[in-house]
Amino acid sequence: MTPFRRDTAACPVPEPLQGEARMALTDRHDDGGGTAARSADVLLARVARASAGRTAGILVCSAGAAAASLALPAVLGTTLDLLLDRAPGAGRMLAAAAALAAAEVVLSACTALLAGIVGARSTSRLRCGAVDGLLSTSPSEAARFSPGEVATRLSANAAEAGATPAAAAQVASAALAPVGALVALVLIDPWTALAFTAGLPLLVLLLRAFARRSTESVGRYLQVQASIASRLTDALGGARAIAASATVDAERDRVLRPLGALSTAGRGMWAVHGSAMARSGVLMPLLVTVVLAVGGLGLAAGRLSVGDLLAVSRYASLAAGLGAVAEPLGALVRGRTAARRVDALVRAPSLRYGTSELPPGGPGTLELRGVRVRRGQAQPLRGVDLRVPGGLTAAVVGRSGAGKSTLAEVAGRLADPDGGEALLDGVRLDRLAEAELRREVGYAFERPHLTGATVAEAVAAGARTASAEQVRSAARAAGADAFIRTLPQGYATPLDEAPLSGGELQRLGLARAFAHAGRLLVLDDATSSLDTATERQVDRALAHRVRSGTRLVVAHRLSSAARADLVVWLEEGRVRAVGPHEDLWHEPEYRAVFGRAEDAGTGPSHGSEGDDRHDPS
Amino acid sequence: MIRHDVRRRCAAAGNGGTPPGGHRYRGTVRRLLPYALRFFRRHKGALIGLAAWSLLESVQTFLVGFAVAWSLDRGFLAGRPAEGLAWLAVAAASVLLAGPVLRGVFRRLSGLVEPFRDGLVRRAADQALGRAVADPARAAEAERAAVSRLTRQTEIARDGFAGLVLTVRSFAFTAVGAVAGMAALAPELLPVVLPPMALGLLLFLLTLLPMAAAQRRYLDADEAFTDRSAALRTGLRDLVACGTTGTAGSGLHGLAAEAEAAGRSLARWTAVRTLALGAAGQLPVVALLAAVPWLLDRGVSAGALMGALTYLVQSLLPALRTMMTAVAAAGSRLVVVLERFVPPEGQEPDAPAPQGAGGQEDAAPVPADGGAPPAVLCRDLRVSYGAGTPPLLEGFDLAVAAGEHVAVVGPSGIGKSTLAHVLTGLHSPDHGDVLLSGAPVRGRASPPMARARVLLPQEGYVFAGTVRENLAQLAPEAGDGRISEAVAALRLGPLVERLGGLEADVDPAALSAGERQLLCLGRAHASPAPLLILDEATCHLDPDTEAHAEEALARREGTTLLVIAHRLSSALRADRIVVLDGTSTAVGTHRELLRTSPLYRDLAGYWEAPG
């Protein structure tokens, strides 16, 4: 057994993911098929080659251990006979038996050591390959896999796949011992071999007749367990209310109320488990006893010696271990399936970067030419032509599903268009070097994901790491400085100890973008959770304190559109119109985008938000 | 956001890859010991029952070896094959006896394992709720995320515990049967067989602690890698956009390398364990053979030798092997998991810190003079997140008269919710006083305090129970009248009907956020508390429903209403409005504030944003 085969209990994957792990059997269509299987095998072969020497070592050691264990009963039997007869040469035979026993033990230990090391190496290689594959792909490609699925593929699946080289090297020797033992039985006394081969299926059948399968208690147990967990989750979600109403004790009792039912179901499970163990536990000793009886008759008839009887009983035990072949075989089968799932990450289509640089000092003119994007059946963009002159702020508006976020992705090359091209200052985005692209194009999102140990590190993270001074001034511009300073350790507060609301998270995301502002900044609904006073503050800072460049702002709020130099109005994946907000406002359908269809006839300054634009403040 | 919630363990595993030493592990075992002893004392009955059934296993072991020996000596070797077969039939029968015995063992086992699991679940719920309630703003979400992990760990502990009890017990009682059998066949067998066996066992025991440490390091490294890889996918968009995929990649490569190193060290110890197991298995057999001439001299028969070999090969060694596997695998996992359920050293065990009690002095407000004290009185409050951080509120004064309706507004993150926490005792001010109807708010919320005011946070807490239980949570003694009054006042009729009436069970997950908030508003209405504090408690309701709910609560008899406003319209309904602006505060009516507070004008000018 290798230390890397893990049952579900040992698998450190969050509970809800285990279902996905099980889905490994019903692979997605894109992972399936002969090519995927071949590609996964190629991957496994490559990984195995990297540990070729050790894998060969496993083959030799495990075969040697099997051979030793096969020879041992015969030698033991002969030794016993010699000793019983007080014949000369017994000492030498005994030494041989001891040497064989030692060889078996040492070779098994070597097999375990090498299998463990090869497993660890292969797993690590697979993991690194899959991590690199995932990191090189575009976020929209990666979105096919849920975070839990990625975790399962990278951890549990990679470990299973990593165990395949060692398992493959052990299949032959795992079969060697039981098959050899059966042959040995035939050689010593064919009747015992006959008794064994006839007895095995008979006994299995007999025992199966008594089998009462019941998975009912297991299902019930899981159900009650889930209900306790969800009660606890609910109560934790209401922690503030519970704390305020001082009802912790009552809530705990409520959470634990199903515990009695859990116990009942649990006892049922143990009973079922006990019956199964009782059945499987008697099979082998019973078989050995039957073989012993046949051997005993041989002994009485003078066909066999006492030593032969010893050998026969041990060979019967060895032969009964034929089922153990299933273990490396099973590991092999599971490993190949798992390798396919890992391979899908390794082979994820990658965003390739070019080597071009942008013309120095360019204004950040953004141009899209005939951009089309396909996502499965959907076509979020169906031919977009657009030019945003450098230094201007363009608002992208449209109903949900119009393609706003896809446009934002393409504009800064988070995804490549399926047709057409995107250019910044006249250079195709996909020809730009990665560092150049990410330095000059920044993003802020509706729900940013921060990385880094502390708040300051999270804001500083980028193609170049921002200085402490840049972090602070960006945080001030994003309206985040004040709340960061109220955190327990200010900027040095560990991220996971900072209680952040949605609005605060957004402001940190904005600060990160501001700290690295280049010639294009894409804000994808990045101020949606801010209250209007803060949004206005951010807006002013963006205009005066952050490096000026082109801004593409995906927005739902009327005020954002009203403040922009240019509005890009998307409809069903196409540009419906481009122009200043005032000009578009006359169109009832444009107003309908903001839920203001009934305002027809009034000027664009109507509505509390519109007021702001002309507010001299 | 990428949350490194295994940071502690990452740090332990990542710092140059130093594995946690065996001595640390031993300390954990020592810490767990009193709990284990107490548990076993409490379940003496189950233990005795288990021992009784296990004794039958000894008998069964004894019979098998003994029957094999006699089948030779009295049967096959004595020229009486029929008698030999008869003795083997006895052996077969006692093998079959193992079935019912094992069933009995499992029945008793569940009497031990299920209470053990119950205890863990109870402890887990206790700890999670305790931590969450002690610091709802920070801890609750983290605890929530940990629930699934908790369930999984409880199951690991349950399986590990059962496996240990089962295998250790099986080995012990098999050994008893085998030793008794050998003693009965020929006592001379014992000094030959037992010492090498003990030696093997000792070797194995010596590998136990380092093996457990290696296993723990492996599990930790694997968990760290798993957590980070899930975060990798969540954060990929941001990593690509920021151009930081390289950094993230090398971070994960580092974690994968640490997992590999942990796997190698585990492989080494697995090899050592295999050696120990082999020694324990093969040494006694070789020793027995080596001693055959000596034994024959003492009149030990060939049958007795075969019997002894049967005991060794067929009973003891398999039992030893399963025990060693279970101890090495499940044992260390069990200890690792149990450690998380036990408070760290130096902390009182079994003391869930009942901080909610001890609020007797808060109970009786003493009116200073004849007039009724204000419903809420804040004097010179200074509030911050902790020592050394700038204050959210400074020199804050506020008096709300009984029956008044006050709204609190301000930009997000300015400390509105923290103010609500301070008023309800969930957050202690750095200095200053809070008095509710003249009674000072000190320390944690207590039941008497809870009867004086209700806090409705943004997340409406609905629990699995009947609709009535949910509505009457804060007024357990409330009669039908009070409940139906609340239902009518807040127009909950259609919702209650859809849920199946007051006596129907609620599935909280099946409710929308707005429906949960509605039920909580009903709960507040039904409660006897005169002061209701709504902290954005209507944010998931549409404006009309929100307006009606607030009006209904304000109309409730003797009610003082403090609303932390989500929309400006909500503030417009109040008698007075409090504008929080960092450390300065403005109070007044809508009209007054439009004149005097620039921030209020800013907020009002923008507020009616669609969506």
What domains, with CATH codes, occur in chain A? 12-170+325-351 (no CATH), 366-611 (3.40.50.300)
| Rounded-to-integer distance, Cα A531 and Cα B607, Å | 8
What are the DSSP calls for B313-355, one per residue? IIIIHHHHHHHHHHIIIIIHHHHHHHHHHSPPTTSPTT----T
Beta-bridge mates of residue B13: none
- The CB density around residue B370, as the number of other CB atoms within 10 Å, is 5
Residues with Cβ within 8 Å of residue A225, at least 6 apart in sequence: A262, B151, B155
pLDDT above 90 for B360: no
Cα–Cα dist B185/A446, whole Å: 81
Domain ranges of chain B: 22-341, 374-569+582-602
Cα A250 from Cα A333, distance rounded (Å): 50
CA distances from A335 to A3, A46, A49, A463 (A): 15, 14, 16, 38
Cβ count near A235 (within 10 Å): 30
pLDDT for B365 equals 44
Do the bridges between strand A366-375 and strand B584-588 make them parallel or antiparallel, or are there none, so unpaired?
A: unpaired
Please give the backbone phi and psi of residue A85, each rounded to the nearest 5 degrees, phi first.
Answer: -80, 0
Query: Strands B505-506 and B531-535, how do they pair?
Result: unpaired
The residue of chain B with its CA nearest to that of A299 is B76
B223 chain-A contacts, CB cut-off 8 A: 12
φ, ψ for residue A384, nearest 5 deg: -105, 125
The reported pLDDT for the residue numbered A366 is: 96
For B324-347, the pLDDT digits (tens) are 888 877 777 787 778 777 776 555
Q: Min CA distance, B250 vs chain A (Å)?
A: 9
Cβ contacts of B240 on chain A, cutoff 8 Å: 138-139, 351, 414
Question: For residue B73, what pLDDT band results from cuts at 50, 70 and 90?
Answer: very high
pLDDT at A492 over 80: yes
Confidence band (pLDDT; 50, 70, 90) for A615?
very low
Residue A609: closest CA among A560, A539, A552:
A560
* B596 C-beta neighbours (distance < 10 Å), count: 13
User: Average of pLDDT values for A536-557?
Assistant: 82
B611 in contact with A at a CB cutoff of 8 Å? yes
- The single-letter code of the amino acid at B106 is F
pLDDT at B141: 67
- pLDDT, one tens digit per residue, over A54-90 is 999 999 999 999 999 999 999 999 999 999 998 888 9
What is each CA distance from B540 to B227, B457, B523, B533, in whole angstroms? 32, 12, 17, 17
Residue A128 pLDDT greater than 80, yes or no: yes
Chain B residues within an 8 Å CB radius of A487? 385, 389
The secondary structure of B142-157 as a DSSP string is HHHHHHHHHHHHHHHH
pLDDT bracket for residue A276 (50, 70, 90): confident
Please indicate whether, in this complex, the C-beta atoms of B278 and A15 are within 8 angstroms of each other: no
E strands within B17-123? none
Q: Is the per-residue pLDDT at A26 higher than 50?
A: no
pLDDT level of residue B5 (50, 70, 90 thresholds)? very low
Asked if B85 and A293 come within 8 Å (Cβ–Cβ), the reply is yes
Supply the pLDDT for residue B142. Answer: 67
- Helix, strand, or coil here: B400? strand
Model confidence at A130: pLDDT above 60: yes
Contact list, A132 vs chain B (CB under 8 Å)? 249
Judged by a CB distance cut-off of 8 A, whether residue B581 touches chain A is: no
CA distance A297 to A292: 9
Please tell me the predicted confidence (pLDDT) of residue B302.
92
Return the H-helix or E-strand segment holding A552. strand A550-554
Mean model confidence pLDDT for chain B = 84
Record: contact B100-A278, CB cut-off 8 A: yes
Nearest chain B Cα distance for residue A100, angstroms: 10
| Tokens found for residue B76 | 């096959």
The confidence score (pLDDT) of residue B345 equals 58
pLDDT for residue A220:
85
**Residue B121 contacts A where some CB pair is shorter than 8 Å:** yes
| CATH annotation of B22-341 | 1.20.1560.10
Closest CA to A7 of B441, B243, B325: B325
Neighbours of B501 (CB within 10 A): 11
Residue A223: predicted pLDDT: 86
Residues 474-533 of A with CB under 8 A from B: 482-483, 485-488, 490, 494-497, 499-501, 503-505, 509, 512, 516, 529-533
What mean pLDDT comes out for the span B219-233? 85
Buried b (16+ CB within 10 A) or exposed e, B248-271: bbebbeebbbbbbbbbbbbbbbbb
Q: Which of residues 3-42 of A touch B (CB under 8 A)?
A: 3-4, 9-10, 12-16
Q: List the 238-297 stretch of B: residues with Cβ below 8 A of A.
A: 238-245, 247-249, 252-253, 256-257, 259-264, 266-268, 270-272, 274-275, 278-279, 281-282, 285-286, 289-290, 292-293, 296
User: Which of A140-154, A238-252, B132-146, B148-162 reaches the highest mean pLDDT?
Assistant: A238-252
**Mean pLDDT across A321-331:** 79
Give yes or no for residue A150 having a pLDDT over 70.
yes
Task: Look at residue B361 in the predicted model and tell me its pLDDT.
Answer: 41
Q: Which residue has the higher pLDDT, A359 or B6?
A: A359
Q: Which two tokens stand for residue B161?
A: 């515990």
Is B84 an 8 Å CB contact of chain A? yes
Residue of B242, B272, B296 lying closest to A462 (CB–CB): B242
Reported confidence tier of residue A496, pLDDT bands at 50, 70, 90:
confident
Residue A528 binned pLDDT confidence (cut-offs 50, 70, 90): confident
Of B521, B137, B355, B470, nearest to A249 by C-alpha is B355
How far is residue A395 CA from its own chain's centroid? 36
pLDDT of residue B371: 66
Q: pLDDT digits over A230-267, tens only?
A: 888 888 888 889 999 988 999 999 999 999 999 999 99
Rounded Cα gap, residues A120 and B211, in angstroms: 16
A278 and B232 in contact by Cβ < 8 A?
A: no
Per-residue pLDDT reduced to its tens digit, B460-495: 899 999 999 999 999 888 788 899 999 999 999 999
Question: Distance from B131 to chain A by nearest Cα, in Å?
Answer: 9
pLDDT digits (tens, 9 = 90+) for A296-315: 999 999 899 999 999 999 99
Q: Which segment of A521-525, A572-576, B131-135, B513-517 scores lowest on mean pLDDT?
A: B131-135
DSSP state of A595: T
Of B71, B263, B447, the CB nearest to A246: B447
Asked if the model's pLDDT at residue A14 lies above 70, the reply is no
Read off the pLDDT of each residue in B115-121 and give the average, rounded to a whole number: 92
Residues 165-224 of chain A with CB under 8 A from chain B are none
ipTM score assigned to the predicted complex:
0.82
Query: Which residue on chain A is closest to B508 by alpha carbon?
Result: A234
Nearest-CA distance A382 → chain B (Å): 23
* Average pLDDT, integer, range B111-121: 93
Q: Which residue in this structure is represented by tokens 């585990």?
A: B266
Q: Chain A within 8 Å of B384 (Cβ-Cβ)?
A: yes
pLDDT of residue B216: 82
Q: Are A531 and B564 in contact (CB under 8 A)?
A: no
Partner residue opposite A300 with nearest CB, options B84, B147, B268: B84
Name the B residues in 442-461 with CB < 8 Å from any A CB. 444-447, 449-450, 454-457, 459-461
Residue B591 has pLDDT above 50, yes or no: yes
Residues 535 through 594 of chain A touching chain B, CB cutoff 8 Å? 535-536, 556-559, 594
Strand partners, B440: B435
Hey, of A493, A531, A591, A605, which one would you mutate to test binding to chain B, going by the most B CBs within 10 A of its CB? A531
With an 8 Å Cβ cutoff, is A225 touching chain B? yes
Two structure tokens written together for A241:
């209310």
Q: Is B117 touching A (CB cutoff 8 A)?
A: yes
Dihedral class, residue B442 (left if φ above 0, else alpha if ψ from -120 to 50, else beta): beta
Using CA atoms, how far apart are residues A527 and A556, in angstroms rounded to an integer? 10
Are A127 and B256 an interchain contact pair (Cβ–Cβ within 8 Å)? Answer: yes
Residue B193 has pLDDT above 50, yes or no: yes
Q: Is B551 exposed, middle or buried (CB count within 10 Å of its CB: 0-12, 13-18, 19+)? A: middle
Question: Does the domain at residues B374-569+582-602 carry the CATH identifier 3.40.50.880?
Answer: no
Output the pTM of the full model.
0.77
Residue B482: CB atoms within 10 A of its CB come to 17
Measured between CB atoms, which of B235, B261, B460 is closest to A451?
Answer: B235
How far apart, in whole angstroms, are the C-alpha atoms of residue B455 and residue A563?
A: 39
Tell me the pLDDT band of B113, cut-offs 50, 70 and 90: very high
Mean pLDDT of B49-54: 94
Q: Please give the torsion angle defined by the CA atoms of residues A482, A488, A489 and A495, in that order, rounded to the nearest 10 degrees.
A: -90
Which residues of chain A make contact with B96, given a CB cutoff of 8 A? Answer: 282, 286
Q: Which of residues 500-559 of B touch A (CB under 8 A)?
A: 508-509, 520
Predicted local distance difference test score (pLDDT) of residue B166: 92
pLDDT of residue B349: 43
